[in-house]
Structure 1
Amino acid sequence: MELTSSIYIAGHKGLIGSAMVRRLRQTGYGNLLLAHHAELDLTKPDAVNGFFARHQPEYVILAAGRVGGIVENQTFPADFLNANLAIQLNVLQAAHRFGVQKLILFGSSCMYPRECPQPMAECMLLTGKPEPTSLAYAISKLAGLQLCLAYNQQYGEARFIPVIPNSAFGPNDNFDPTSGHVLSSLIRRFHEAKRTGANSITLWGTGAPRREFIHADDIAHACLMLLNRDTSRLSLPVNLGTGQDYTISELAQRIAMVVGYEGEIVWDTNKPDGAPRKLLDSTRLHDFGWHPTIDFDSGLRNTYQWYVEHAALLEACL
């Protein structure tokens, strides 16, 4: 990409989208196309086509979508399917129609079968049924991934690049205990437990499932590399992970330490665990030249510091 290239970041206020904006600006890219949801509803095809016609983006990072944890997935499965399918279909169609040079679409580790050999290699996609508690979201992201590959196959190009990051975290995450993912939700809950002086905190499940976490800034670093390098020989999709996972119990203990909470952690084993393990095999992308640079504990501290600095505003909005 040229520093003057027009780059559209869909979902620029979210976790990964905001990390992309930071990375691009730090690297010297100044022609960023940013639109709030109130300005551009990506579920409306006419609105998306009009935006692409007016602005003619050369590159697109599709980081917009309906996301959430187990509760959200279980409560609103139709909303998850409708919103994500519509956004992906509309943006990819417009990107193809208006000649976008490269587009990055984000999949999810929940697309892999629930019972999948670990670490999970890209070839294992569609070899089994995903975890039921996130099935609607998984199906929608599988559809987006396959649409990228279908365009590349049908038109003999490699313009659409689906990447599969594992559980992302960092500044601008969703810290709502109900709708957020596990790491950000736990940060909020441990922070509130410390603030109120609670003697104990009760968490869902057994604490035994293992999860891999990657800082959003590392994701942005990888995506910038993919946008700038020749990816025509890179097998798609590509996993994007650190190669290290932790039990949810270990995660809770690390967050408690960062927050400074010293009460008891109680596990409600009547609540679901989700998939037993979701560790990605990121060899394909590592061999291409990308490696993570942010270690987990420093990323946790960075994320909690950001949350504390923005806690009052976040809690007022939730």
Structure 2
Amino acid sequence: MTKLKVLLTGGGGMVGRNILEHSAIDEFDILAPRSAELDLRNFDAIKTYLDKYRPNFVIHAAGKVGGIQANMREPVGFLLENLDMGRNIVWASRQAGIKKFINLGSSCMYPRGHEEPLKEEMILKGELEPTNEGYALAKVLTAKLCEYVTREDASYQYKTLIPCNLYGRHDKFDPKHSHLLPAIIHKVHQAKKNNEKTVEIWGDGTARREFMYSGDLADAVIESINQFDSLPYYMNIGLGHDYTINEYYQTVAEVMNFQGTFIHDLTKPVGMARKLVNVNRQISWGWTAKHDLTAGINKTYEFYLKEYM
């Protein structure tokens, strides 16, 4: 039987690499060009690539990503690069006649200031978090373009998965570019290595975040390909529960056996007070994450020690 030919963008990023490492990936004929081979900011280059290789299915996992520091420092880049990549791959796929498309969004697409779990229908229902607004706007516009493509012609099924915050193998650990959890792993490891007695936490540590192991998102993506027809047009992918920043630091310390203490810098920005996705739609569809926090941090720390030390 002929394998489904799938184009995966962002194959060199954390999400893409975890998808390529999935145990079921060999069931598909995967095209995973790096940016040197296919620049997603170049619309004509994408059209030429699609005409040459003729994939049946596209997974858009590419993006310029980073934590609070990077988003605050480079808002122009986070808006323009993500917007260009998203617009180009969606519209080029539509012009190439590709009927099935999975776009990976972000929980940053949701409005700020909500204590309750964020439902898919809340997109564009409020002000975005200012610290990563550019990135969020690009993700919203790409998701809406997918929606419009399907609205105009239902034979084109372009759907968006909205993951919660992620961490895991192939993550970025440099605090200048990383998200919260890999930055914590790096900071606590360096403190232990250098025999430091304290580690600084931005804010009071009571803000809550939902972080899922990236291998679980890869599993959800594979399941989405296999069960594409029943996949909702918008669906959160997450845990359905969250932890405080302090709890993430404490769990990392336990995994590493770090014996020091934590101090809080109340002058630093912390972003949204809470960002938890509602997973009712995901559960009804039939998928749940496999890793708990300790198991995910253990696997991530093993990768960090092997690749960064």
Report the secondary structure of 1:285's partner residue.
helix
Per-residue deviation at 1:117? 4.5
| Alignment partner, residue 248 of structure 2 | 251
Distance in 1 (alpha carbons) for counterparts of 2:270 and 2:228: 40
Distance in 2 (alpha carbons) for counterparts of 1:44 and 1:204: 38
Is 1:282 equivalent to 2:279 in the alignment?
yes
- The 1:189–1:57 alpha-carbon spacing in structure 2 relative to 1, beyond 3 Å, is same
Per-residue deviation at 1:3? 6.4
Report the secondary structure of 1:119's partner residue.
coil
Q: 1:306 aligns with which of 280, 303, 307?
A: 303
**Alignment-mate amino acid for residue 148 of structure 2:** A
Report the secondary structure of 2:102's partner residue.
strand
Equivalent pairs: percent with the same residue?
34
Question: How big is the alpha-carbon RMSD for the aligned residues of Structure 1 and Structure 2?
Answer: 1.5
Q: Structure 2 unaligned runs (5+)? A: none
Contact 2:208 2:243 (8 Å CA) reproduced:
yes
Q: 2:237 aligns with which of 234, 237, 240?
A: 240
Is 1:40 equivalent to 2:45 in the alignment?
no
> Which deviates more, 104-113 or 28-37?
28-37
Distance in 1 (alpha carbons) for counterparts of 2:291 and 2:115: 26
| Alignment partner, residue 166 of structure 2 | 168
TM-score between the two structures when normalised by the length of structure 1 = 0.93
Q: 1:264 aligns with which of 256, 261, 274?
A: 261
Distance in 2 (alpha carbons) for counterparts of 1:263 and 1:117: 32
Distance in 1 (alpha carbons) for counterparts of 2:215 and 2:209: 18
Deviations 1:168-206 (A, max 9, x none): 111001111111000011111111111111111112111
Contact 1:158 1:231 (8 Å CA) reproduced:
no
Contact 2:159 2:232 (8 Å CA) reproduced:
no
| Alignment partner, residue 99 of structure 1 | 97
| Alignment partner, residue 177 of structure 1 | 175
Is 1:153 equivalent to 2:184 in the alignment?
no
Deviations 1:261-318 (A, max 9, x none): 2112111110011101011101111101111111121011011011101113xxxxxx
Contact 1:102 1:227 (8 Å CA) reproduced:
no
Q: Structure 1 unaligned runs (5+)? A: 313-318
After TM superposition, list the pairs within 5 Å mapping 1:108-257 onto structure 2.
108-157=106-155, 159-231=157-229, 234-257=231-254
Report the secondary structure of 1:28's partner residue.
helix
Distance in 2 (alpha carbons) for counterparts of 1:56 and 1:235: 25
Contact 1:3 1:30 (8 Å CA) reproduced:
no
Distance in 1 (alpha carbons) for counterparts of 2:286 and 2:298: 27
What is the aligned length? 309
Distance in 2 (alpha carbons) for counterparts of 1:3 and 1:107: 30
- The 1:230–1:51 alpha-carbon spacing in structure 2 relative to 1, beyond 3 Å, is closer
Report the secondary structure of 2:21's partner residue.
helix
Report the secondary structure of 2:263's partner residue.
strand
Per-residue deviation at 1:216? 1.3
